[in-house]
Amino acid sequence: MIINKQIQFVHIPRTGGRYVSHIINENNYYCLWQNFNFSYKNKDVPHLSYPENTFFYHFTPFKKFSIIRDPVDRFMSGLRVANKVNEEKINSIFKNQESFDEFINICRLEDSSNFFLPQVNFLDYKTKLWRFENKFENNFYKWLLDNFNLKIINKDYKSNVFTSKNIYDNKFSLNEKQKQYIKNYYYQDYKILDY
């Protein structure tokens, strides 16, 4: 999403990006390319990775920011939304590291939303980062103001408004071994983003 023709919000899927887009829109900023009806190279424009987002925006030198999230939590959120999850499906995905890696690689090829792409694949070195775990409260709004001159006036938003019901229908938990498969696959997110 482009804000006021000079700021790019790099929307990494499953990190609260629709919420951030909503509050920016609600504060009457001029926004472009936040619609999921458009694609580029078979990927949703709001979820373009790097460097595709750079090509799509014709190398315009935007100020950039993004939200990052613990890779295990992000993966579980993506799995809940993208698939009907049951114990059999979980056992199949997490049979071993190879089956987990194969599941993710297939999803990455078929998924136009980039739900399972590592977060570092969306970012360049100029992108300022906010952690999902730090919440979208006063400190976040101050950070937007200090770094991008985005003043969020109305701060009374309900983050669960954007959560689809099926997330709650697909409850599951993972054991430590299964979480380790996720950490192994997303090792660059852990290393580079300091999780």
Residue pLDDT, tens place only, 131-180? 999 999 999 999 999 999 999 986 566 554 454 444 445 677 889 999 99
31-35, 52-56, 89-93: segment of lowest average pLDDT: 31-35
Does residue 51 have a cis bond before it (omega within 30 degrees)? yes
Cα separations in angstroms, 78 against 5, 104, 128: 30, 11, 23
Taking the C-alpha atoms of residue 73 and residue 65, their distance in angstroms, rounded to an integer, is 20
Cα–Cα distance for residue pair 39/33, rounded to 1 Å: 10
- 120 pLDDT higher than 90: yes
Q: What is the pLDDT of residue 80?
A: 84
For the stretch 61-76, pLDDT in tens is 999 999 999 999 999 9
Res 171: pLDDT:
72
For residue 108, give its domain range.
2-192
Q: Which tokens belong to 186? A: 């997303």
Rg (CA), the chain: 17
Residue 160: its pLDDT value, please? 47
CB 12, CB 67: distance < 8 Å? yes
Query: What pLDDT sits at residue 38?
Result: 84
**Distances in whole angstroms, Cα of residue 115 to Cα of each of 5, 58, 60, 144, 150:** 26, 24, 25, 25, 27
The helix/strand/coil state of 137 is: coil
Question: What is the domain count for the chain?
Answer: 1
